[in-house]
Homo-oligomer: A and B are copies of this chain.
């Protein structure tokens, strides 16, 4: 026998009418009291009666009813497909949520794994969010942005490698990272540079532009770029290392620090000297890079702060007309250690 013998299962959810009845006032008065409506003066005894009644019944207002009446919500929707991994991403995410809530928004992540563009947009639009901040995990189209805006979204913001028509796109130029890495390697005299392309689904959104940036940086200097597909496991890395000498590369940009660790280990196990025979550089500047031997060179990434983005959202909600710009969205700089 449970401690709460289904008292809750049967009993209907209390409404403001129940509170009004118990307090012996009208529903209007309940609303005034619980929302501290300043335009109306309610006597202190009444206020107390209402509050006590609400407390006793365990009354919680119904957000749907409220926003239906109000004609708008304060919900900011963050679609997520794959839960982002990595400290950079999660810190940014936490900051954003925190800052938005301080601005009195309700932050909601909508699990959209497996939803495609328009289908996803419809699902989000049903909730009538006042703003949508997408991280590019779900591909948005011009049309889906329109659906969202027509459903009342004041701000549709995409962060990601690609620009999305109709939305306020904050382009995080991933190509800058690849470019940065390759420039660093070239500056240190390398001329035949591998670029690791992770095979993990979802990462191509980042890896493709990074490769493109690598190519751009290489083309200026006449260095050769060689894409290297790699899945995140030891076998794949060992296989790549086994054919390393025939690739005739003298450097590799390994997508990020974790892939760099994997590949560097495999290279060392195959008796390829790092950085003597092959220089290695990662990206993200994780702590683990400093723990490796040789210490891993990397590309440090500065992301826009969540607070900054929250202010952008708020601005767009309050003044849908003007679209403020954020420029220094993402910075990248090479950090030289020992592996390059």
B-contacting residues, A130-153, CB 8 Å: 146-147, 149-152
Task: Tell me if A110 and B108 are in contact (CB < 8 A).
Answer: yes
* Interface membership of chain A positions 256-277, coded 1 if the CB is closer than 8 angstroms to chain B and 0 otherwise: 0010011001000000000000
Q: What are the residues of chain B within 8 A of A97 when measuring CB–CB?
A: 111, 113
Asked if residues A113 and B98 are in contact (CB atoms below 8 Å), the reply is: yes
Contacts of A87 in B (CB 8 A): 85
Least Cβ–Cβ distance between A306 and chain B, in angstroms: 11
In the complex, what residues of B have CB within 8 A of residue A151's CB? 13, 58, 60
Stretch of A205-213, A287-295, A324-332 lying at the B interface? A287-295
Secondary structure class of chain A's binding surface, majority of residues:
mixed
Confirm or deny: A40 has a beta carbon within 8 angstroms of a beta carbon on chain B.
no
Chain A residues touching B, range: 35 or more
Q: Is the CB of B288 within 8 A of A258?
A: yes
Q: How far is the CB of A31 from chain B (nearest CB, A)?
A: 15
1/0 contact string of A211-238 vs chain B (CB within 8 Å): 0000000000000000000001110000
Chain B residues near A166 (CB-CB < 8 A) = 3-4
Closest to A83 in B: B90
Interface string of A155-183 (1 = CB under 8 A from B): 00000000001100000000000000000
Known: A6-B321, A60-B150. 18 other contacts (CB 8 A): A4-B146, A13-B150, A58-B150, A60-B122, A60-B151, A62-B68, A62-B128, A83-B89, A83-B93, A83-B94, A85-B86, A85-B90, A101-B111, A106-B123, A107-B111, A108-B109, A232-B287, A262-B291
- What are the 10 tightest A-B residue pairs by CB atom distance, in nearest-first order? A109-B109, A64-B64, A97-B111, A107-B111, A83-B90, A63-B126, A8-B149, A60-B125, A265-B291, A58-B150
30 contacts between A and B (CB under 8 A): A3-B165, A4-B149, A8-B149, A9-B154, A11-B150, A58-B146, A58-B147, A58-B151, A60-B122, A60-B147, A62-B128, A63-B64, A63-B126, A63-B127, A64-B67, A64-B127, A82-B90, A82-B94, A83-B83, A83-B94, A85-B85, A85-B86, A85-B87, A98-B111, A101-B111, A108-B111, A109-B109, A109-B110, A261-B288, A288-B288
